[in-house]
Structure 1
Amino acid sequence: MARTLSTQLLSRITLWSALLVTLTTGFAFWNTYQRESAEQVAELVDSAEQRVSAGSAVFIEAEKTTQVFADRFLTRYQKQVNQPHLIERFDAWFEEREPGVWRLRTPYFDGAFAFERWWQYLSGFVGRSDAPLDAERKSRIMMSLSVLQEFGPAWEHNFANTHVSMPENVLLNYWPQSNWGQSARADLDMTAYSVVGSTLQQNNPERRPNWTGLYFDETALDWVITFQRPIDWNGRHLLTPSHDVFLTSVIETFIANSTADHFVFNQKKQLVAGSPEFTKNKEYVGVIELEETEIDELVTVYQVVEQAAPTAADPVKIYLNELADHILIAVYVPGTQWWHVTRTSKKSLQAEAVVASLWVAALGAFILLTTVLIAWIFIRNQITKPIRQLEKAANYIKQGKYESIANREIQLPLQTDNEIGLLANTVVDMSSHISAEQEFLEREVKKRTAELEQANQKLAMMAHADGLTALLNRRALDRDLQAICRAGVAQKTAVIMADVDFFKLYNDTYGHEAGDIALQRIAGVFMNLIVGGRVYRYGGEEIVALATVTSVDAALKRAEKLRAAIQNLTIPHSTSSYATITVSIGVTLIETDDTPETVLRRVDKSLYEAKKAGRNTVKSQ
């Protein structure tokens, strides 16, 4: 037996050594080289796409927000045009400092409260125009200022500014850094310049939104690109909402922190930005004209990309063989239609791939040599030791110590791939059969018990939780009120009931999906502010909270904090008198002789008083 096992082991060592050494040094090396090369190109593509995604986020956001502005303005325009109060407001807010030139008064830039709103950082310039300054244009200007004030504060961190131009030589601005309307030249005709001019119907008959070319903003002292979305109604050009984007920080996102070269080209044969070695010692002028530059490398890169350029439909192009010494990766930049190009040396990629491949081959050879060496050193133990272990197991079986074998208290050659291994596994299987069956039954009992407990917990949660808001439901409220009323009032407990104002109108206007989202956000406010209490969804738009308090005043303060926090969510509600979603709140304390029914009637009455008082208020009983 010993001679048979030795022959088997030696044969396997010889066979595997010959095969693995030959295959590992050849096949593994080539495959590793190919994989490493492909992975390095994939990493470059991923890096380029991440740069473009980060850099172009502001461009995509500009297109979305101007559409939001357009939708909101047109909704108001159709309802409010030529309204007398808008005309009166224009006459009060604008001053004619020069003949035929009207400017928004300074208080609406510095900050002023008017018509139940706070107005700030607004400027307006109504220049000379052949069109009359009639009631319609005055109404249009005032509605535009209202929408600017509504959205401008939310957008000021993403864009340089938000402004509205009109074909009658009007520009309205939300720009915290500059009261532009007060400083603009009186003789300024904005429609004569390319930025505003490109939005006019005669220059843009397709009425497409557009990105302007780069231009230097003398007020901001930065290079700017502007997105403009013309708004027409019944074939008439009303206005154009726009965003200015300062490019200094955006360009840094495209080209900074990389060992590869990065370029940003537009489709007019201009370099918008590039790695420092291509722009150093040159005064930055926004773009470099490729037809005028002496840097042949830039021209060559542009020509390669231009011949098979990335597009919106096919945003990534890889150029492996177009240049002798370099690989190019071009990614389409949404919105601006620029090309972000990464250039890296073929030699550096090949060198890294070869190094990685050599390490893999060397590691494989080392493992093989080590395995052979260990096999030869321990060949005697691999034959004689398993036989001695089986002899010991046979003695345990003779003595009836099956559990010791099943628990592996003695070492057996179970992993040996020959007759000894087969025999060892048979011995263990025989010895562990009885104990294994018992352990299996015990595990099954524990498993079924745990599953039953989880099912009970899930049923309890489903019975007392609201599926939409994740708050507790009416059933849970009835249970908890009953428990509090039975236990007495050792601690004062406030019952706070809130009802969303004009919620049916909100659902009718914005849709039930928007209503569900609004309820979820309101529920989140309750969960954040009712610390140590419990919050329930009582009805469709009614929410109840139980909170431990020290007095009625403390309960009212907490309810007022909830009311203010929900109003501060500023969820738009155009059919509400408050313009945003608000809640009416009723408050009461649980008394000694109360029942759940008397508590709910009393708090419902206080909620009714809050609604009767005009809504968006807090009342108590």
Structure 2
Amino acid sequence: MKTYIKEIKQMINKSLAKSTLLSIGIRISIIVTIMAFLSYHHIVNILEEQTLDKLEKYITERADKESIIFKLAQDNHNTFKQAYLELWSKRKTANANPRFDQLFNKQNDGTLRLTTSAFTGFERSHTSSSDYKGESRWISGFIGRGAPVANKEFRNRVLLSYDLVDQFAQGWSNRFANTYVSLPEGVNIVYWENLNWAAGASSDLDIPEEEWVYIANKKNNPQRKSVWTGLYYDQTADEWMVSCETPIDDEKGEHLINVGHDILLNNLFQRVFDDRLEGTHNFIIRKDGRLIAHPSYVELIQKAHGLLNISELKDTKIVSQYQNISESIDKYGNKPQIINDSASDVFIAIAPIEGPEWYFVTVYPKTLLASPAQLTAQFIFFLGFISLIVELVMLYLVLLKKVLHPMERFEKASKLISEAQYNLSPVLSDVNLRKDEMGRLSAAMLSMAEQIHKNTLTMEETIKLRTKELELAKYLAEQQARTDSLTELANRRSFFEIGSLALQQTEEGGGTLSVVMLDVDKFKNINDTYGHAVGDEVLKRIATALQQSLRPTDLCARLGGEEFAILLHNTDLHGAKKVAEKIRVLFTTIVIEADGEKIQFTASFGVSQLTSKGEQLDDLLKLADERLYKAKNSGRNCIVSQ
């Protein structure tokens, strides 16, 4: 039925519908779709050019903005360094003991700490009101155990460091959280507003082993330039930060001090994460893959104490982005650039941050370009769709009579055929009068229905005939499966099936059941002497004699060769023996002529009876068989029942 409907639709598609619906509806749909598609890609291309320009300006400005703080830190350090070296030649031999002992107090834990008044504040010495130098405060100092505090040169370095921190740090505090000086011997002089760093420092603090100190030593910084730490946690300040450290050496190359600034994590993260283009995200990395700041990995960075490398992440997307960044830097150099990352479907804008050798990265998803383009394309497509609907409605009114009405009739006719009703004339009468394709289709459907009707009648007759043939074949097959082909008695399979059922019925309903087994005496001699044809005749005559001697309720079967079994219903052992005797005597009267000779034969019998519940047919046959062979051994042509 589905094939017929499909053929109808195909015929319609080749005529009226093709010249109307397809020629108008599909044409408009294709035009609208193409216009929307071209508009979308045109707008995407324009937006992409504009976005790349904007992104390049943004990344350059952001990198410059971030670089300012790092440049400023280095400028401050250069100022500090110049001042320190100018004063050091004059101060290194001065008598520092009275002032040093006044400023630093020996602690019970073996360390020295700057006097509390240096942090809480005191007025700097002056001679008159016009010479007033303001108040010194917020400075704390820590000298670790083992420092050479008795050394004159060491004391002068510490005091000069303190004086210059007091001179410069307050003026720099509007851009930096702190200013500090560390000495290789385990000293740190810190200006930090409202934070007494030295007071919170542990007596076990090993300052030379801190990253913000050892990155400036000669081993790690042989160029003796300003260097930046990675992100780290300062336990004393309880803050996450990065630090700029500048070593200061004397004219002989001796390492005197390090001057440092810290940039606190919160300030850095706030600038990087919050100051961004809508829909994008920013992060900072080092060229070696160390992740400085990333909005998705703040906790991991902190957990790794600022030593998190991108290669340690399971995020394949950011790993791939880093690989692209690294390859682009190697190829195009250390300058602002934009990478088209097709794998992640993003633009990656990168620019170097001067100072710490970091890179500011902005990830711009391409979907941000697609959204406005999609809106425009959708609007164009919507207008085209409305136009298409209007035109199709008008077309529908024209086709209603020409196509849709005949289609409805064809559908009803097809339904009648599916219901085995083949008189379609009442349904297709008006359509059949038309001279166009619909009329020809109607005539074809009427002819098809008539032919289907004829074929159906023929098929039903064929099915009936075939069914009868199959039933007969089934009957013959079942008979062959249960009947011995030579004697036409039941075969071994049939005997066991019927016998097992009879045994079950006897046990459930009461009564007796006996089995007689017989075997033709010296049957092999008959076959060898007269041939198998005579032997087969003997078996047939035995089968006839058995059928004549038994009741209709009894079962006789050929178990194989010259061996037969008889199942006697409601017959005890004595009655079974009488039946066996009757058959034995009958066998002696049978005469078969072969080659002019008269042949006679005898048989031996074994008899058994069902005596208790639970016995199986195999048990009765086994017992009867044993008694049969006793009869053979007793001279043949006799019956054994015990």
User: Normalization by structure 1: what TM-score?
Assistant: 0.49
User: Normalization by structure 2: what TM-score?
Assistant: 0.47
Larger Rg: 1 or 2?
2
